[in-house]
Structure 1
Amino acid sequence: MGGKGGRITIHEVAAAAAVSISTASKALNDTGRMGSETRERVKRIAAEIGYRPNALARGLLSKRSFTVGLLTNDTYGRFTLPVMAGISDALVDHGVSVFLCAIEDDPALAQIHVDAMLDKQVDGIIATGKRLDRRLPVDLSNLHVPVVYAFTEGTQNSVTFRSDDEQGARLAVEWLVKIGRRRIAHITGPEDFFSVRERAGAYHEVAGHREPVLYGVWSESWGHDAVEQLWKRPGEKPDALFCGNDQIARGAVDALRERGVKVPQDVSVIGFDNWEIVAAQTRPPLTTVDMELKELGRQAGLTVLALAEGRPVEPGVRKLPCRLIVRQSCGSKASTE
């Protein structure tokens, strides 16, 4: 068994399943009329003997390439890699492959990659980036293939997936209030980021305006400097810090340690992103908000597949809920005194 080069052919699937070649083909391609038991039996036997359909032949029959392009300007991969993992998980069972094109912020390079994707006859394109309120530097609005946006700004009447930053921030601050914290400061990134403003708004709604919002940059050094600013002020110090990302939170934890302030006994700290390489290595390990980027990618993948297959999909922005990951940086007073 194995035909030329050891590849299992549909003739061998038909023989093993004791059906005609026509029946085997229809069963494997979900076409034609036959009993569900026969269809499932043919598929099961095909899997058991290691049959893999010929991608070129399948594409010619269906007029599809069974590939999806992923376009991103997040060359560091902080947001794109988990999104891509979710897309791949969603599409692998459908026989669809994903290939990544990094465009930085170069319009000419972006257009080259888009043209290459179209030349390869991709079934669709997923555009993703490094912030929610910026579009990629290339126009994807009038392509002849479906385009879905994930963690980047989409065009009018597009399908766009994004994390719910307001809900995520609310989860974090409500948790701090629940464990007894009352003087909660917010250290975050640049105010011109849409996500920063959404999180700050949710923070104020839950915590009020007793403590300030400190806007800065997305770095550990800013978290360190912000703690220095807060602790130089006269009067009571914060008993909790809600940080705009995990790097800021890690810098803040380091600055507190240098001042002899114990985390979480004296001050609870929560980050945002659940960047494992930072959150898990912080001492103590960091409580943080997970934006569920892998799930976001999974939903984007299934949506571009639906559009490629001609199924109707309502345009608009879909916000996916965040999840709070509780680790040791966020203990209650009752449990630590």
Structure 2
Amino acid sequence: MGKPERPATISDVASLAGVSVGTASKALNGRGSMRPDTRRRVQEAAQRLSFHANAAARTLNTGRTYTVGMITTDSIGRFSIPVMLGAEDSLGAGQMSVFLCDGRDDPIREQYYLKTLLSRNVDGIIVTGRRTQARPPIAAALPVPVVYAFISSTDPEDCSVVPDEAGGARKAIEHLLATGRRRIAHITGPEHHHSAQVRATGAADTLAEAGLTLVAPPMFGEWSELWGRQAAGMLLAMGHDVDAVFCGSDQIARGVASTLGVAGRRIPEDLALIGFDNWDVMALACQPPLTSLDMDLEGLGRAAADLLLDAINGRPSPGRHTRPCRLVVRESTAIVVSQPSTAPGPLIASARPE
């Protein structure tokens, strides 16, 4: 019976790559300055030898655990999971792992996870959640850097990375204006919600710059398809002459599309419809497919991880960092060649499709 094969060592990798042991170590740990081809040669040698770095030894050599904690209040994961995937993309290049902890909007649970992560000597922490509204700092004078992603900290000295929701609303209105729409309504989420307020204000301000106003005050409600159906029914009942509806979320927009379809209003022929979030489950299932604003949550997660890595390496970037939203154009806002419409003149409900 033969002897088991000896696992490859860092010396074996260095020898195969034709570099020193120190250079091989730096190349595999993402440290130091070297030519890209040298780093690539070391990584290829490690792959050929099936070499796996000893995490404990690496910690002793660098004083770091190569782990990052992520604490979220987003139990469903609609926002935190894309942020985490983006963070992992950036951190994985340095062979760092992410521990995800769900605080469930419970301050006691959140502090428990914070203490647990610190006891594991994580190199840094990312705090995220399901709302962009600023929150109090998770703790004071922590021994490791903290970056807030998607949500922000009320402390201006903390590092926060957030989507530019006001800019997203501006892009939505500018797009509708560019397609010839002028009589625009806005249906959005709860009035007390930060995102609803920011998006409504951004829409109104952009219209004001063009010498226009919303056809009615912003319609605040819930972030739900049900509210979208109800609000569209109210809009129909009021009889406003509307040629576009900007919704504060894709869920709301899908509900609006459903009610308008039953009332015989054609999208985009009779009016254009645009949402926010670019949640493909909603946007692509909408009839017709929905134009929407994408907050690029994975990109936001990558940016947060990059800022955290800089802070870990002694280069913190305090303050609020905003990232632009991206307009994703689909059929719901298409420019339509003028043609006779079978729908009634003003936006008035009909008993059935005509």
TM-score, normalising length from structure 2? 0.87
Aligned to 1:151: 150
Letter in 2 for 1:324: L
The answer (yes or no) to whether the contact 1:230–1:237 under 8 Å persists in 2 is no
1:97 equivalenced with 2:97 (yes/no): yes
CA 38–219 in structure 1, closer or farther in 2 if over 3 Å, else same? closer
Aligned to 1:242: 246
Q: Unpaired segments of 5 or more residues in structure 2?
A: 341-354
CA 34–332 in structure 1, closer or farther in 2 if over 3 Å, else same? closer
The answer (yes or no) to whether the contact 1:13–1:45 under 8 Å persists in 2 is yes
CA 222–27 in structure 1, closer or farther in 2 if over 3 Å, else same? closer
Aligned to 2:280: 276
CA 286–306 in structure 1, closer or farther in 2 if over 3 Å, else same? same
1:330 equivalenced with 2:340 (yes/no): no
CA 233–23 in structure 1, closer or farther in 2 if over 3 Å, else same? closer
TM-score, normalising length from structure 1? 0.91
How many residues align? The count is: 332
CA shift for structure 1 position 248: 0.2
Measure, in 2, the Cα distance between the counterparts of 1:120 and 1:98. Answer: 12
2:152 counterpart SS class: coil
CA shift for structure 1 position 48: 3.2
Deviations 1:175-234 (A, max 9, x none): 111111111100001121222222112211233324121111111111111111111114
1:228 equivalenced with 2:227 (yes/no): no
The answer (yes or no) to whether the contact 2:152–2:161 under 8 Å persists in 1 is no
Q: Percent identity?
A: 43
Deviates more, 1:249-258 or 1:9-18: 9-18
Deviates more, 1:245-254 or 1:202-211: 202-211
CA 160–18 in structure 1, closer or farther in 2 if over 3 Å, else same? closer
The answer (yes or no) to whether the contact 1:183–1:238 under 8 Å persists in 2 is yes
Letter in 2 for 1:148: V
Letter in 2 for 1:188: T
2:261 to 257, 261, 264: 257
Deviations 1:212-261 (A, max 9, x none): 21111111111111111111114x43111000000000000000011011
Letter in 2 for 1:268: A
Measure, in 2, the Cα distance between the counterparts of 1:271 and 1:203. Answer: 12
Deviates more, 1:42-51 or 1:285-294: 42-51
Measure, in 2, the Cα distance between the counterparts of 1:67 and 1:245. Answer: 34
2:140 counterpart SS class: coil
Q: Unpaired segments of 5 or more residues in structure 1?
A: none
Letter in 2 for 1:141: A
CA 5–203 in structure 1, closer or farther in 2 if over 3 Å, else same? farther
Aligned to 2:172: 172
The answer (yes or no) to whether the contact 1:240–1:267 under 8 Å persists in 2 is yes
Measure, in 2, the Cα distance between the counterparts of 1:23 and 1:296. Answer: 32
The answer (yes or no) to whether the contact 1:159–1:317 under 8 Å persists in 2 is yes
2:258 counterpart SS class: helix
CA 335–31 in structure 1, closer or farther in 2 if over 3 Å, else same? same
Measure, in 1, the Cα distance between the counterparts of 2:130 and 2:145. Answer: 21
1:214 to 194, 199, 219: 219
Measure, in 1, the Cα distance between the counterparts of 2:34 and 2:287. Answer: 61
Aligned to 1:203: 203
